[in-house]
Amino acid sequence: MNNGNLRTILETCIAPFGLTLTDEMWEKFDAYRALLKEWNEKMNLTAITDDSEIMVKHFADSLSLYPYITGKSSNLCDIGTGAGFPGVPLKIVMPDLSVTLVDSLSKRLTFLNALVSELGLSGIELVHARAEDFCRKPGCRDSFEYVTARAVAPMNVLLEYCLPAVKPGGKFIAMKGSRDEGSFTYACRRLKAAPIKTESFTLTGADASFERTIFIFEKTGPTPPQFPRKAGIPAKNPLC
């Protein structure tokens, strides 16, 4: 599939989010696609290697958060970023957004460092840490206007991983599949958060299609000092 068709797929997918790509943005996305595929041959970054699926399931999916980030010069932390999703695509379309990418695997940070350099992006910080440890670092706790996660952890676990990094009044945006997340009322109460919006939709482009549900939480107060608990405990003993 030629690059013009790939650009059309991405632009069609993101139009409902109020986004239009400039030529410079598209060049960055195309370079991102190529570098992701190149590095994926050396390390396991993604199971999605088809070009059109990368446009839909990685890039358009990440950009589905654009309507929820109202301060385009805000600061955002992407916890468990993997190959940079959703943090890097959001940075490409919002160059004034300050972005921190957190991941527990150093090889992913090696890729991200090469990616940031290749795309010529500034205002991105890369952090090698587990979520539980990151959220106890000075300057990280109760600090970010937006925290995002595109993760497979159950919601009550994900809330403990991510909410401590959100500043009071800020938002945590969780990207989940279509399955029932169960009750996370107790976790919200303990972690000082209120669910304010849930939205489900289908992303479709070329032969790629999948369901996405976005959960948005508002931080109602500072994180209690006992959270997050030590690494490994939230997953073994969730707040429920």
Map out the domains of the chain with their CATH numbers: 3-236 (3.40.50.150)
The candidate with the shortest Cα–Cα distance to 111, out of 30, 26, 36, is 36
Q: Which of the residue ranges 43-47, 210-214, 217-221 would you say has the lowest mean pLDDT?
A: 210-214
What does DSSP assign to residue 39?
A: H
Alpha carbon dihedral 105, 109, 110, 116, in 10-degree steps, equals: 160
CB 78 within 8 A of CB 99: yes
What is this structure's pTM?
Answer: 0.95
Give me the mean pLDDT over the 197-226 stretch.
Answer: 89
pLDDT for the residue 1? 60
Output Rg (C-alpha) for the chain, integer angstroms: 17
Beta carbons within 10 angstroms of residue 125's beta carbon: 12
Token pair of 201 as six digits: 């939709």
Q: How does DSSP assign 142-177, residue by residue?
A: T-EEEEEEE--S-HHHHHHHHGGGEEEEEEEEEEE-
| Structure confidence by residue, pLDDT tens digits, 61-87 | 999 999 999 877 799 999 999 999 999
Alpha carbon dihedral 107, 110, 111, 112, in 10-degree steps, equals: 120
Strand partners, 218: 171, 194
